[in-house]
Amino acid sequence: MDRWTLRNGKREGSEHDDANRTRDRDRDWATNGGRLLMGTLLVTGSKPFAGLPDSPSQKLLGQVDCMQVGDHQVVAVATEVQLAKVAGNIRRLIAQHRPVAFVALGLAPGEPVLRCETSSINRLDFGVADNYGDRPTDGRAIEPGGPDGRLATWNAGALVRAMRDGGYPARVSHFAGTHLCNATLYCALGAMEAEGLSGPAGFFHLPYLPEQVVRFLDDAPPGGDLAPMTPRALPSMSLADQSAALRILLETLVHQAPGGTR
């Protein structure tokens, strides 16, 4: 069997069907003597924001949800772009699934290549409001009293090398910004530690999709900015290429998980 197989005909991840997926997973894991054959690779992706009708992160979830990588199964969940709930949502997902590895996906407007983040900071400073109108600009803490920063626990360099070897442009990044992408990584690293989970965790930033850039070009006023937060900077990468790169990332990531030999 291919290392990447579709399970139960599912293609789309969402918080709505999260409980059903967990029951399916637990059934699939029932083996002789109760021995656990699979671990969960938890992948979250932010929904569209900044007035955009779509997002590469949400579209990629449907490409990998319920697939297997070696002995591990991907659980992909779309997350709200909402500051007030990001910490609670991430904690709940990690406590529920207890993943062997965690990857969050998000759009990096204007970024020309794929980006593996290595760190998060305990600060909020939004260039654009979340989908519920919240826009802190004062550098307040994500977690009052929490550490100033948390380091991603994946080997970003190895992931980038694997994607480049596969023909996909990627780079290591040491700054995930001060918006919800950074907050998601910060909260996820804290939740993994709180749950006693030692698996790799990090954030994967994505470029625009070509169809998004086409819309910006079609809709832009003469001489005006072409895209939210990224005046005139409109590189893109196809969904097919982003999906293939994500698969390479996940295949490589399982080797970084505890006991990761498969």
The answer to whether 51 and 45 are in contact (CB under 8 A) is no
User: What is the pTM assigned to this prediction?
Assistant: 0.85
Q: Give me the pLDDT at residue 31, please.
A: 38
Is residue 104, in this structure, part of any structural domain at all? yes
**Blockwise average pLDDT, block size 10, the chain, 262 residues:** 39 47 45 54 96 94 94 96 97 98 96 98 96 96 98 99 99 98 99 98 98 88 65 86 98 89 44
Is residue 262, in this structure, part of any structural domain at all? no
Is residue 123, in this structure, part of any structural domain at all? yes
Number of domains present in the structure of the chain: 1
pLDDT per position as a tens digit, 89-102: 999 999 999 999 99
Q: Give me the pLDDT at residue 230, please.
A: 62
Is residue 10, in this structure, part of any structural domain at all? no
d(CA 114, CA 168): 8
Please spell the DSSP secondary structure of 154-185, one letter per residue. S-HHHHHHHHHHTT--EEEES---SSHHHHHH
Chain centre to alpha carbon of residue 248? 14
Q: Give me the pLDDT at residue 232, please.
A: 64
Compute the mean pLDDT over every residue in the chain, rounded to the nearest whole number. Answer: 87
Q: Give me the pLDDT at residue 224, please.
A: 65
Is residue 189, in this structure, part of any structural domain at all? yes
Is residue 2, in this structure, part of any structural domain at all? no
The domain of 114 spans 18-253
Is residue 9, in this structure, part of any structural domain at all? no
Question: What are the helix (H) ranges across the chain?
Answer: 18-29, 56-64, 83-97, 156-165, 180-194, 210-219, 239-253
Q: Just list the catalytic residues.
A: 117, 181, 205
Is residue 249, in this structure, part of any structural domain at all? yes
Q: What is the CATH number of the domain that holds 26?
A: 3.40.630.20
